[in-house]
Structure 1
């Protein structure tokens, strides 16, 4: 059993799903603790006891960055973890900056959950983000990439191959429920979007397509909202805003719909996609990031070129319930083979064991070298 401190910036959204899977698995195996910001994190929905959770005051502003680093420093000194498992770019910067000039530190496992240098931004910013990641990798024992695409791009930007590997995100089986599925219109194709209403997720593109084409036989349900900033959108008549719902409720909405749509501009992984496969729902996804690793075009959904809005519109126009149902069953088979949480948690557990073993061997080697040096003097 190891003492494991998990650190995250925000948890709302897909990262909460990931954390809950990991925390639930580790709760009986390790002595675990979680730190996350008060903003966009919920003690009620995180799968960890309240006495094992610290929500620190935070906003994404420089003044709060220093406070976050100080809060992490205090918790590290108090908890004395064997492993710090850090989630997300900002949390990764806070934690590893703290350790940068310290000789003694716990094992650091880092998962960016989507590289900042792969965002749709200016090239000089991408290079700057990559440079920071390469520097901070010096104080990292292992870097988790959440897809092959993320790994390949990380290698292209010069991150250390010896410290890097791929661990796909995973989710558990659905929980049996007597509750009926979410009520939808049986005479229409019912599509579901789940996620933040922001540019990364391609939400603007999705609404553009629906506003331009007015699909008469399609109803679009929207689970989510804005997170970091308020944006004004024009919602077509055949959309229904449902707001944020607890992750435990996602299956309820997915079971009632015919397919899930994920139009992301960039996507490190796409947990919503595997939640859809778990519920036997096909996925309509952009060709960005890891989504083509989850969705095989024509088998368990459709892939469209993000740069071609008409391609997405054409896919939506030709959808039919019978084909979608067949794709949903194929998607469930893929979920069981590749994206179940058992595989993910087993891999993380092996990483912990290997990292702790290497740290122990390095420590023993250092002691031997010190003893030899003392004997020679």
Structure 2
């Protein structure tokens, strides 16, 4: 089995997914039989042996020339590497890799596609959603299997008329956190919350910022790991409030240290295929407050450790800041560390994908 992973942008959850999946695939197939294509500027986010990684020159969704060059890298690697399976990740990579295949009568490899959250799950006008769905249905003709990262993902695809025959649910998961990773040292007199992800519309960073600014409580901090990727909105003014602290993107172990050190993670997403960061937090013993968007309720059944906030989200998060005691959150965190068990591992994920690749 020779597997070529094809990506456009990996920043955030896709990088986590690949960093945890590919080592298991290397153990299954051998390091010489696994390869990953990423943007050169994002290669530093991939913690894998350099011989596995191939880069394309420039990541730019606004430039057709850049997108064309990216696709040329894809097909050069197909020619050089001669994979038995091409596993394509996310919407733009899915478009630019599969579009030329619509005119190709036969291909010597299998195409497996994962959107990591459908484009038509975005909060857009219905006519735009139907355009995205039409494109996905057309591209399905040159796709052998589509990996859905949650049952929500599969049901949503079916609701837009995408045939379920090729849809396979393979849920995301994470590795257990290394017990040697120690909590980051934070002010014990404050309630320390955490946000991890892109500062973009999908992830609801503006909702979080508005809630912080609306709160009159001064005894909390929200540590924000990440940065803007898709959005061009300037978020610098958000951090003029000292309760919001920008940390930039951090290596995985640093993210886990903040998850272990903070009292709770806030996930205010507007749409979400799965929500890998929430699962990472639970593994670290960090309770989660979330929006309930997309696949989040599926992996986070409502409990004292994973609380779905009511709409409107700005008001709910503001109430969280104004009415929640540190003592209560610390006790939740202590209990969660004792009771949480991860039953579905990355090894299981790799084995499920292997069955899809083979069949």
TM-score by length of 1: 0.87
1:251 aligns with 2:276: no
1:142/1:331 Cα in 2 relative to 1: closer, same or farther (>3 Å)?
farther
Runs of 5+ consecutive residues of structure 2 not aligned to the other structure? none
Q: Please tell me the root mean square deviation across aligned C-alpha atoms, in Å.
A: 1.9
Find the aligned partners of 2:310 and 2:67 in 1 and give their Cα distance: 37
Indicate if the aligned counterparts of 1:302 and 1:315 stay in contact, CA closer than 8 A: no
Find the aligned partners of 2:338 and 2:66 in 1 and give their Cα distance: 43
Find the aligned partners of 1:296 and 1:320 in 2 and give their Cα distance: 22
Equivalent residue number for residue 33 of structure 1: 35
Q: What pairs up with 1:193-342 in 2 under 5 angstroms?
A: 193-233=195-235, 234-235=238-239, 236-325=241-330, 327-328=332-333, 329-330=335-336, 333=339, 336-338=342-344, 340-342=345-347
Equivalent residue number for residue 347 of structure 1: 352
* Count of aligned pairs: 349
Find the aligned partners of 1:176 and 1:3 in 2 and give their Cα distance: 34
Higher deviation after alignment, 225-234 or 327-336: 327-336
Indicate if the aligned counterparts of 1:282 and 1:331 stay in contact, CA closer than 8 A: no
How far off is 1:332 after superposition? 7.4
Equivalent residue number for residue 117 of structure 2: 114
Find the aligned partners of 1:79 and 1:170 in 2 and give their Cα distance: 28
Q: 2:154 aligns with which of 151, 154, 157?
A: 151
Computing the radius of gyration over CA atoms, which structure comes out larger, 1 or 2? 1
Q: What pairs up with 1:49-64 in 2 under 5 angstroms?
A: 49-58=49-58, 59-60=60-61, 61-64=63-66
- Which string of whole-angstrom CA distances, capped at 9 and with x for unpartnered residues, describes residues 192-239 of structure 1? 001111111100010001101132222111111112344223232212
- Which string of whole-angstrom CA distances, capped at 9 and with x for unpartnered residues, describes residues 119-177 of structure 1? 11121111000000001011111111111111111000111211102111111111232
1:132 aligns with 2:138: no
SS at match of 1:240: strand
SS at match of 2:221: strand
1:129/1:37 Cα in 2 relative to 1: closer, same or farther (>3 Å)?
same
Equivalent residue number for residue 12 of structure 1: 11
How far off is 1:16 after superposition? 0.3
SS at match of 1:29: helix
Indicate if the aligned counterparts of 1:300 and 1:331 stay in contact, CA closer than 8 A: no
- Which string of whole-angstrom CA distances, capped at 9 and with x for unpartnered residues, describes residues 79-117 of structure 1? 110000111001111111132222222111110001001
1:155/1:332 Cα in 2 relative to 1: closer, same or farther (>3 Å)?
farther
Runs of 5+ consecutive residues of structure 1 not aligned to the other structure? 355-377
1:55/1:335 Cα in 2 relative to 1: closer, same or farther (>3 Å)?
farther
Indicate if the aligned counterparts of 1:73 and 1:98 stay in contact, CA closer than 8 A: no
